[in-house]
Chain A
């Protein structure tokens, strides 16, 4: 006997063998609660389970109409298995990093310590994988804002910390100019992937969760690409140019929360 049998008995007002019930109650604090005071709580909860609910007759017909509209490229993309969706998003992101950061690399790359490259690469990749994984996963969604803020701190924090510890002589003598150029470069190479993320998203309306997690993945990829592409280690330049997609993300979050607050 298990808790579901007890629950079903209350709902169906069915009798259970006393010995088996006693054996179960001896080891189950939850079901003991139900039987307290002559089974009052169990019977009251059973009332809720037997309450009738209004249910439209044609609901399946309406669903069939919506299913009939599930055609075209987006319907195909969003119905792929999640593992494939994940790969099909990760590969273009990595390709953008390679095209923008490795093939067009920073002038002082020869002096750039390999250990630092590998460390940053690992940190960013893990964060990108987490952001994409959370966006595409069908797992239960918990406290979304905790995830967003953690990723945001990450997207902004890592490049800024990196800027305070210049890797080469050239980056230590950098100036704040050219931030807009770096922002545009990062955005140009990563933002088309936002369209792909929209295509893969299974929700009918783009949620704040999707916006934030997509921006996290794109911002982190841009950070990584620009770390490899641009040798300017000036903190102001890094904040405005390299980590800027993260800042856009922060602004989107802040504005959304402000609007929500004003609507209340």
Chain B
């Protein structure tokens, strides 16, 4: 797939959007702007991934910075043909594990932790926030190996093959972990979270069922 963007200040010029791998290759060759672009692409995703587990946004930001610092230090390890996204998440996961190993603070984020943001407004906003909070609690109660896979797929935006690469496992094993996690989530949510649209509607994501 080829995607394009309009360059700032020149509406007539259409510049190709470089892939992550092209940006990384450019950075290795000395293009510092490429590193900034990678940072802009991935820092929000990483911040979300870190902020889910860490108590303060500052600590999450610090780990995001360390991830990019580590990416810089290991830039010469990047091989052509390798996908960048799982690699960045592997670095981030290693740093997060080391952080928890050092501070032993994983269990501080208890199931009663109400840090789920409330981004929804309007008449059904409260209902959606409740559903999000219930889902978050159910996620936190999952075994770490199940939770990790689901979070990387849903909140990190990684495909299952990318998740497998990031956690050092096989696609089949990762999908089994996701399946077990989903089953446990459904059981835990049960009647407590009916979903933002109630639960009696058909999925809005399938054409023809709307």
Contact = CB atoms under 8 A, between A and B. Distances in A.
Contact of B94 (A13, A16, A62, A141): A141
B119 A51 contact: yes
A237 to B, nearest CB: 36
B106 to A, nearest CB: 12
A149 B87 CA distance: 28
B153 interface: yes
A122 interface: no
A38 B203 contact: yes
B8 interface: no
Contacts of A78: 73
Interface in A111-131: none
Contacts, number: 206
Contacts of B39: 60, 63
B92 to A, nearest CB: 11
A48 B142 CA distance: 15
B23 interface: no
A225 to B, nearest CB: 31
Nearest to A8: B157
Interface residues of A, number: 70
Contact of A44 (B65, B132, B155): B132
A43 B120 CA distance: 14
Interface stretch (A29-37, A165-173, A215-223): A29-37
Contacts of B141: none
Nearest to B160: A3
Given A53-B47, A63-B69, A39 B205 contact: yes
B171 to A, nearest CB: 10
A86 to B, nearest CB: 11
B154 A45 contact: yes
A260 B117 CA distance: 32
Given A30-B178, A50-B119, A15 B206 contact: yes
B176 to A, nearest CB: 9
Given A30-B175, A43-B196, A15 B69 contact: no
A264 interface: yes
B204 A39 contact: yes
A55 B58 CA distance: 9
A159 interface: no
A13 B44 contact: no
Given A47-B128, A208-B101, 15 more contacts: A4-B159, A4-B160, A38-B199, A44-B195, A47-B135, A51-B48, A51-B119, A53-B44, A66-B69, A67-B69, A138-B77, A138-B94, A202-B74, A203-B70, A204-B69
Interface of A: 2-4, 6-7, 9-11, 13-18, 21, 29-30, 33-56, 59-60, 62-63, 66-67, 70, 75, 78-82, 138-142, 144, 202-205, 207-209, 260, 263-264
Interface of B: 36, 39-40, 43-44, 47-48, 51, 57-58, 60-61, 64-66, 68-70, 72-77, 87, 90-91, 93-94, 97-98, 101-102, 104, 116-117, 119-120, 128, 131-132, 134-136, 139, 150, 153-155, 157, 159-160, 166-168, 175, 178-179, 182-183, 185-186, 189, 193-197, 199-210
Closest CB pairs A-B (n = 10)? A39-B203, A140-B168, A33-B182, A47-B132, A44-B135, A18-B208, A40-B195, A4-B159, A54-B57, A15-B207
22 contacts: A6-B205, A15-B206, A29-B175, A30-B160, A37-B186, A37-B195, A38-B195, A38-B201, A40-B195, A44-B134, A44-B193, A52-B119, A53-B44, A54-B51, A66-B69, A75-B73, A82-B77, A140-B90, A140-B94, A203-B70, A204-B66, A207-B101
